[in-house]
Amino acid sequence: MFGALSGRTKYYSNQVADWRKKIKYLPKAVRDDIAKRNKKAIDNKKKPQYTPNEKFEMWCDLVKKLGTLLPYSYITEDGIKLGNFQDTVLGALSGRDKRYSKHVADWREKINDLPKAVRDDIAERIKNIIDSRTL
């Protein structure tokens, strides 16, 4: 709903005008909260968009520094969902996710620069992804 009200997404765009009319009758505290969330949604839309390779480099730097894979819920201070992106990378490397298939060859080379423990974790996670598809 907030994405539609802020214009960030086009879903429900045919209901936005009706919602705006109904919001006028809500308590002031609720209207203020809606306005604040809409502003946040608009501000998030203005954040820089990173290419898959830029995100991959950020992810590599972080897992090198930490020496382990990230939890799925990991989000950087500037709002980049690197934990989610890591899941996407592992899906692409396993062949499950085709969105980034043109990057896979480069990513495989760069993964060789990661610590051995991280590479082993990656190999195990990819094996689990592939095995879960064959069940």
**How many residues appear in the chain?**
135
Q: Which domain holds residue 88?
A: 52-134
Same structural domain for residues 72 and 123?
yes
Same structural domain for residues 15 and 73?
no
Predicted pLDDT of residue 47: 63
User: To the nearest whole number, what is the mean pLDDT of the chain?
Assistant: 85
Same structural domain for residues 40 and 58?
no
User: How is residue 4 written in tokens?
Assistant: 């539609």
Same structural domain for residues 27 and 78?
no
Domain count, the chain: 2
Q: pTM for the full model?
A: 0.64
Predicted pLDDT of residue 4: 72
The span from the CA of 37 to the CA of 33, in Å, is: 6
For residue range 63-99, list pLDDT tens digits in order. 999 999 999 999 888 778 899 999 999 999 998 888 8
Same structural domain for residues 79 and 123?
yes
With a CB cutoff of 8 Å and minimum separation 6, the contacts of 67 are 115, 117, 118
User: How is residue 1 written in tokens?
Assistant: 């709903």
Find the helix packing angle between 82-94 and 104-111, rounded to 10°: 110
The span from the CA of 10 to the CA of 66, in Å, is: 38
Same structural domain for residues 12 and 62?
no
For residue range 36-55, list pLDDT tens digits in order. 887 777 776 666 678 899 99
